[in-house]
């Protein structure tokens, strides 16, 4: 067996496949972009009244958390630096999505109530 440099993925790693790659693109780029778009729609609403955009925003956040756990647990997910991700990384990701997501959601509603 040949030695690989630390952090380099193994050739048989499913994380190199299209599914693992797609999940990471969703978790780190497309998902947060969709949440930002939903926050803009929320800002155009009527103050603190809930709308479909709120449900979409929350659904995206929950989906991102679930996808990251699937990536780490079943697809040998990687961190942003290419190291193997652990459940601790997935929990940290979930905490960031929840805390930042709530702050941005509240700010979007605050802006909507101030403007509207």
pLDDT for residue 26: 92
Q: What is the pLDDT of residue 7?
A: 52
Phi, psi of 84 (to 5 degrees): -60, 130
pLDDT tens by residue, 85-94 = 999 999 999 9
Q: What is the pTM of this model?
A: 0.83
The per-residue pLDDT for range 14-66, each reduced to its tens digit, is 445 788 888 899 999 999 999 999 999 999 998 899 999 999 999 999 999 99
DSSP string, 12-45: T-GGGSHHHHHHHHIIIIIHHHHHHHHHHHHHTS
What confidence tier does 6 reach under pLDDT thresholds 50, 70, 90?
Answer: low
Rounded to the nearest angstrom, the gap between the alpha carbon of residue 3 and the centroid of all alpha carbons in its chain is 33
**pLDDT score recorded for residue 13:** 52
* Cα distance between residue 23 and residue 90, in whole Å: 13
Structural domain spans, the chain: 17-115
């Amino acid at each position: 067996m040949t030695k690989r440099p630390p952090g380099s993925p193994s050739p048989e790693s499913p994380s190199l496949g299209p599914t693992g790659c797609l999940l990471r693109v969703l978790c780190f780029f497309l998902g947060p972009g969709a949440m930002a778009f939903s926050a803009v729609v929320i800002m155009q609403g009527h103050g603190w009244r809930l709308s479909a955009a709120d449900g979409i925003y929350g659904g995206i956040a929950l989906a991102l958390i679930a996808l990251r756990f699937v990536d780490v647990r079943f697809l040998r997910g990687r961190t942003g630096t290419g190291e193997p991700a652990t459940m601790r990384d997935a929990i940290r990701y979930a905490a960031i999505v929840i805390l930042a997501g709530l702050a941005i959601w509240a700010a979007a509603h605050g802006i909507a109530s101030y403007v509207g």
